Amino acid sequence: MSKYDYDLFVIGAGSGGVRSARLAAQLGKRVAVAEESKPGGTCVVRGCVPKKFMVYGAEFGNAIKSAQKYGWSVGDVSFDWAALRDSIQTEVARLSGIYSNVLEKNGATLYSERAEFVDDHTVRLTTSGKEVTAETILIAVGGRPWMPPIKGAEHAIMSDDAFLLDKLPESILIIGGGYIASEFAGIFAGMGVKTVQAYRGDQLLKGFDDDVRSVAGTHQKLLGIDTRFNISPTEIKKTTGGYIVTFDDGSKIGTDLVFMATGRKAHTAGLGLDKAGVDMSKSGAVVVDEFSRSSVKHIYAVGDVTDRVNLTPVAIREGAAFVDTVYNDRPTAYDHNEIASAVFTIPPIGVVGLNETEARAVYGDDMEVYTTSFKPMKNALAEKEQRCYMKLITEGKTERVVGIHIVGDDSPEIIQALGICVKAGLTKADFDRTCAVHPTLAEEIVTLKARAS
C-alpha cells in the first residue's frame, strides 16, 4: 500500500494535464487533478478554440463581399457581436464539460480549485484547505498573458478578455506583432472594427521566414488594418470617450480599446515551487530535461509552463511521453523538431521546419530555395488582391526538404499533411513525382521552381 494519497497529482486540467491524467488513470494509477478555472485550459477556454471560431466569424464578412462577384445579391447585412460571443461561450462550456467527463470516466478525481505546493510530495487545495500527497506530481499549469508595466497599463485588455467583451468597439489598438496580435487584428478588422496594429519591430511575426513576414504584413494592410512599425507604447491615458496611447517616438494614437498582445509567461507565480525545490528559469518557467523531469526527480512539467514549444498538440505529446517514461517503463523524449504550426491570420500561415535564415545558418550554400506567388482562383473571380505565397527549402545533393512555408487560404490544413513529408525526410524529387490535384491552391507545392538568384 502506497504511503501517498495518489500515485499522480496533476496541477492544471489543460491539454497536457488532462492527457497525462487520462493515460495514467487508464493504466490503473490513482490520479487526481486540480484546476482553478474551467477544465480544458488555455486552448479550449481562452485560446485556440474560441479564437478559431472568431476567425470563422470574421471571415464571413469578406465572404459576403466576395459573394456578389459569384452572382449572389446581398441585401443589408449586419454583424451581431453578442450573438457570436455567446454561441462561442456555449460551445466552450460544452467542450470543457467533455474534459471533466474524460477525467471522471477514467477514474481520475477532479478538484475544482487551485493547488499550491506545501512540499515536494504535498499540495494544498486553496479553497477547501485540504492537503493531499502524491508519489509523482505533474505541473501543467500553462501560461498567462503578460504586458509590460507601462503607465496606465491597467486600462488595456489582454487576450483572455477579448473573448468576453460586452460590446464590439468602433476602434481598437492592438499592441504587438506576434501570433495573438496578428490573429486578433485580422479578427477585429474582419468584424468591421477600425483596427490599428502597432509593433516595436519592422516586420510582423518575428521568428518566421522573412518573406512570409513581408507577405503577412501586406495581407494585414489589404484587410484594412493600419499597421505601424518601430513604435513601443509608453503610456495609456483614459479619456472621456476612450484612450490615448503615447509611444516612444512621441506619437499618439486615440482608440476605443487598447489590446496588449505582448506575450505570455509561465503561470508559476504563487505555486510554491520554492517549497518543493523545483528550479525555474529567469522568466518563471519550470526547467525540465528531455523527459520533462524537473530538478526534483519525482516532479515533472509539460506544456507552456516549461516554455519549450508553446502549442497545444506539443503539450499533449509531452504528456503522453511523460506517461510512457514514468508508468510504461519506456523513457520517451518528445522530439521538438519539425513541428508544423499555423497562424490564423486572414489568410492564414502554415509552416514546418526551418525558415530560410535558419537553413542558411545550418547548410550555408548547400541548399536550394523554391518559391511561388500567385493569385488563387477563388480570389481572381472575387477580384481580391490577396496572393498566395509558398516557399520550400531543401538541403544537400539529395535535396531533402527541410522547410515549407505557405501563406494562403487553407494553409493550416495543407501544412498538416506536408508536416508528415518533412518529418519523413522526403526529397524535392518525391514532391516532383507526385501528381497535382487540380485545380487547387495546394497543387503548386509539387510544381515549384527554384527561385531565380
User: Which residues here bind ligand NDP, judged by CB under 6 A?
Assistant: 148, 175-181, 183, 199-201, 206, 232, 261-264, 310-311, 341-344
Burial class (CB in 10 A: 0-12, 13-18, 19+), 232: middle
* Crossing angle of the two packed helices 356-363 and 210-222, in degrees rounded to 10: 180
CB of 393 to ligand NDP, least distance (A): 21
**What one-character DSSP code corresponds to residue 367?**
E
Q: State whether residue 69 is helix, strand or coil.
A: helix
- Maximum CA extent, the chain: 73
CB of 421 to ligand NDP, least distance (A): 20
> How does strand 122-125 pair with strand 131-139?
antiparallel
**What's the rounded Cα separation, in Å, for the pair 204 and 220?**
10
CB of 262 to ligand NDP, least distance (A): 4
**What's the rounded Cα separation, in Å, for the pair 168 and 327?**
49
The residue nearest ligand NDP at its CB is: 178
CB of 141 to ligand NDP, least distance (A): 15
CB of 378 to ligand NDP, least distance (A): 23
CB of 139 to ligand NDP, least distance (A): 18
In sign, the C-alpha dihedral spanning 210, 213, 215, 221 is negative
CB of 145 to ligand NDP, least distance (A): 6
By beta-carbon proximity to ligand NDP, the closer residue of 9 and 184 is 184
By beta-carbon proximity to ligand NDP, the closer residue of 369 and 418 is 418
**Cβ–Cβ < 8 Å for 344, 55:** yes
| DSSP codes joined into one string, 294-345 | -SSTTEEE-GGGG-SS--HHHHHHHHHHHHHHHHSS-------SS--EEE--
Which residue among 121, 336, 405, 438 is the active-site one? Answer: 438
Residue type, 362: V
> Cis link prior to 412 (omega < 30° from 0)?
no
By beta-carbon proximity to ligand NDP, the closer residue of 111 and 179 is 179
**What's the rounded Cα separation, in Å, for the pair 135 and 137?**
7
Residue type, 296: V
Q: Which of 449, 393, 387, 382 is nearest to 418 (CA)?
A: 393
CB of 49 to ligand NDP, least distance (A): 11
Residue type, 9: F
**Cβ–Cβ < 8 Å for 233, 243:** no
Annotation marks residue 438 as catalytic: yes
Kindly report the number of other CB atoms within 10 A of residue 393's CB atom: 27
**What's the rounded Cα separation, in Å, for the pair 305 and 11?**
11
Residue type, 16: G
**What one-character DSSP code corresponds to residue 96?**
H
Tracing cell 477514467 back to the chain, one arrives at 106
Rg (CA), the chain: 24
By beta-carbon proximity to ligand NDP, the closer residue of 29 and 264 is 264
Tracing cell 486615440 back to the chain, one arrives at 254
Cell digits for 439? Answer: 485545380
**Cβ–Cβ < 8 Å for 382, 331:** no
Q: Which residues are catalytic?
A: 438
